[in-house]
Amino acid sequence: MTSHQLLVVLDVDSTLTQDEGIDLLAAQVSKDIAREVSAITESAMRGELDFEESLRRRVAALEGTPETSVNEASKKVRLSEGARVLVDTLHAEGHLVGAISGGFHSMIDSIAEDLRLDFHRANRLEVNGGILTGKVVGPLIDARAKVTALQEWARSAGIRRERTVAVGDGGNDVEMLAWAGLGVAYMGKPVARAAADVALDTPDLSKVLLLLGLLRD
């Protein structure tokens, strides 16, 4: 570890990526399911719904969906503008980058590999016989789990709290935005903006580098 090293942890859906993965997955199923899931997603991100309840309701709506639909939806996930520049620049400067998602490992593992992320964590969809059961397995990644992951990763790398940066947009990012040395609300909902130290309203993640003094405008 170097004394100047940072740990930058990004939310995934609508932050590291342009899309809400579960909405893409629902769209693979039917228009009715897509509308139902999207409405729950929006309510949760505004902080109107408990995240655990909202996630379980959305996943339940996907019961009976073939696992192949998850693979197809994953191919449609788009990185946010500037995401690759942000991660590559941080790595080139010797910093660490993690991603923490209220979405699913099956949709972000390939992104984490492609970007060579140092850490990543997400929920896991339960699959039985190649079909989604409508449940998640293992610990749920909610707001508390996100800040816990940030703390664990910082501790494992020997990085002090003041050298941590969290970037997110919604209600389930609030705790990590508030805990991090620098909390950045990226195109954030009001609840995220209120918890963050700074708001970034340009849809370009590389602008985070400006806040860190690693890029001149």
The domains of the chain are located at 7-18+78-211
Active-site position among 13, 19, 118, 173: 13
pLDDT at res. 105: 95
Active-site position among 11, 23, 118, 173: 11
Average confidence (pLDDT) over 195-207: 97
Range name among 10-14, 48-52, 123-127, 193-197 with the lowest pLDDT average: 48-52
> Residue 78 CA to chain centroid, in angstroms?
13
- Cα dihedral 172, 110, 140, 73 sign: positive
pLDDT at res. 1: 37
Question: pLDDT: is 117 or 39 the higher one?
Answer: 117
Burial class (CB in 10 A: 0-12, 13-18, 19+), 68: exposed
pLDDT at res. 3: 56
Query: Given pLDDT bands bounded at 50, 70 and 90, which one contains residue 215?
Result: confident
Confidence check: pLDDT of 139 > 50: yes
Average confidence (pLDDT) over 47-56: 85
The one-letter amino acid code at 102 reads G
Confidence check: pLDDT of 2 > 50: no
Confidence check: pLDDT of 45 > 80: no
Provide the whole-model pTM. Answer: 0.92
Average confidence (pLDDT) over 96-111: 95
Told to judge if 11 belongs to the known catalytic residues of this protein, a careful annotator would answer yes
pLDDT at res. 136: 95
Show the tokens assigned to 9. 């942890």
Average confidence (pLDDT) over 13-20: 94
Query: Given pLDDT bands bounded at 50, 70 and 90, which one contains residue 31?
Result: very high
pLDDT at res. 37: 92
Strands 182-186 and 164-168, bridge-based pairing: parallel
Q: Report the candidate in 62, 145, 172, 45 with the shortest Cα–Cα distance to residue 106.
A: 62
Query: Given pLDDT bands bounded at 50, 70 and 90, which one contains residue 4?
Result: confident
Confidence check: pLDDT of 142 > 50: yes
User: Contact at 8 Å (CB) between 9 and 159?
Assistant: no
Q: Report the candidate in 46, 41, 8 with the shortest Cα–Cα distance to residue 164.
A: 8
In whole angstroms, give the CA distance from residue 81 to residue 18. Answer: 8
pLDDT at res. 81: 98
Confidence check: pLDDT of 217 > 60: no
In whole angstroms, give the CA distance from residue 198 to residue 62. Answer: 36
Contacts of 198 (CB under 8 A, 6+ apart): 182, 183, 184, 185, 211
Beta-bridge partners for 10: 99, 167
Strands 182-186 and 119-128, bridge-based pairing: unpaired
Query: Given pLDDT bands bounded at 50, 70 and 90, which one contains residue 42?
Result: confident
**CATH superfamily for domain 7-18+78-211:** HAD superfamily/HAD-like (3.40.50.1000)
Which residue stretches of 19-82 are H helix?
Answer: 21-29, 31-45, 51-60, 67-74
Percentage above 70 pLDDT, the chain? 98
Query: Given pLDDT bands bounded at 50, 70 and 90, which one contains residue 44?
Result: confident
Told to judge if 114 belongs to the known catalytic residues of this protein, a careful annotator would answer no
Cα angle for residues 160, 187, 85 (degrees, 5° grid): 65
